[in-house]
A and B are shown apart, each in its own frame.
Chain A
């Protein structure tokens, strides 16, 4: 039987997920080729116009992955679609065999390359999770019955490095309450700070209600790390990590080592149910990280 996220969650083992960004073109071949990198993970995220840059539809790319025998997690944002389109997409994705959704508010289009587009944001991630949970239970958002409810695992995102902590924890609790089965976090480089956030998650018992899957972003250059530290909001990157990659003779190798060390530290934290590997533009390193980290 092929590995799936649902099966990983139900078995209680350490979860491993990967991530794939669909191409900025109509070719199906790139997705099919990249599918080979994800043979040893439980499921693969497929991003949805990530950072407000147009890419192939996440449901379409997910179908290509399904055909390759993988278990995609379709990311859906509130930025581009209203509730009618979102409900329709949920039904369509389920009809194609998609078993997992990651429901997000979505980066604003001002972050992307077409800032003149109209922001939709009909719903936010909490009400989106609630809506799809209702669909699972057989009801459209207006209460009408759904004859064949979609069967999907639902996830939300969390940022362990954003302040204030109390508000962030409230939001995760709301997502858990709204029906989320799992939470994927932003990439972790600052383990002590992540531990502090996990303490709060445990205090509220949230780790028992949702599976917390910590993000790990393998980097292959110091420039990539510096870019994230300076330009991407919601990331906490210690200078030591940047220096380490910058001073290394082979930055890519050092990046792999760093990623494996981060994974080892995260595994030891009580309440962490898995890791989410998201090597930006470097999907092919995924199988090696999985192997070397002993996942």
Chain B
């Protein structure tokens, strides 16, 4: 598959599991239901998970990007208000500002330089964990390596300058 679609080749186990479950709808429903239950109980209170089924929490410093009213997976948009408030909900902070801030604290800024592929809406409200095991999730695309490295260096300098008075 092209780098544009962001697909990685499924491991043998994932492909097998996907096929196995697809052929057994009752089992699939049970596992899916169990997965969703566990996810809802854990991810909703902890992360205000929006149940998109296509989880990229680990790439956004464990802040759910789908809380954004525009459901941006590569934010922030150009409409952010001064002070970092949301274009759509002016009393709320832009979620991507929060993601960037926490990424800097955790040293996860390079993960933001990767394009997170478009949301697969056929996975909406399905179990993200099960989707991972079935190989249905697309990993963020790692673009040309040198660009990421250059960005890293440039951004570290910039981050340093931003904190200077």
CB-defined contacts of B116 to chain A, threshold 8 Å = 127
Q: Which of A131-175 contact B (CB under 8 A)?
A: 131, 133-134, 137, 139, 141-143, 157-159, 162-171, 173-174
CB-defined contacts of B151 to chain A, threshold 8 Å = 169-170, 173, 204
Q: B8-16, B18-26, B44-52, B76-84: which one contacts chain A?
A: B76-84
CB-defined contacts of B112 to chain A, threshold 8 Å = 167, 170
Interface SS of B by simple majority = loop
A204 touches B154 (CB 8 A): yes
B4 touches A130 (CB 8 A): yes
Known: A105-B78, A108-B79, A169-B155. A164 touches B162 (CB 8 A): yes
- Give the number of residues in B that approach A within 8 Å (Cβ atoms): 47
CB-defined contacts of A234 to chain B, threshold 8 Å = 78-81
Q: B32-40, B128-136, B142-150: which one contacts chain A?
A: B142-150
CB-defined contacts of A123 to chain B, threshold 8 Å = 118
Q: Which of A15-58 contact B (CB under 8 A)?
A: none
B69 touches A126 (CB 8 A): no
Bound Cα distance from A210 to B5, whole angstroms = 22
Closest CB of chain B to A219's CB: distance in Å?
A: 20
Known: A107-B87, A131-B4, A166-B109. A122 touches B118 (CB 8 A): yes
Bound Cα distance from A167 to B94, whole angstroms = 12
Closest CB of chain B to A201's CB: distance in Å?
A: 10
Bound Cα distance from A79 to B71, whole angstroms = 11
Closest CB of chain B to A217's CB: distance in Å?
A: 15
Q: Cβ of A119 < 8 Å from any Cβ of B?
A: yes
Bound Cα distance from A200 to B2, whole angstroms = 31
Bound Cα distance from A252 to B132, whole angstroms = 60
Q: Cβ of A111 < 8 Å from any Cβ of B?
A: yes
CB-defined contacts of A116 to chain B, threshold 8 Å = none
A-B contact pairs, 7 of them (CB 8 A): A104-B78, A108-B87, A124-B75, A141-B5, A166-B159, A171-B76, A177-B147
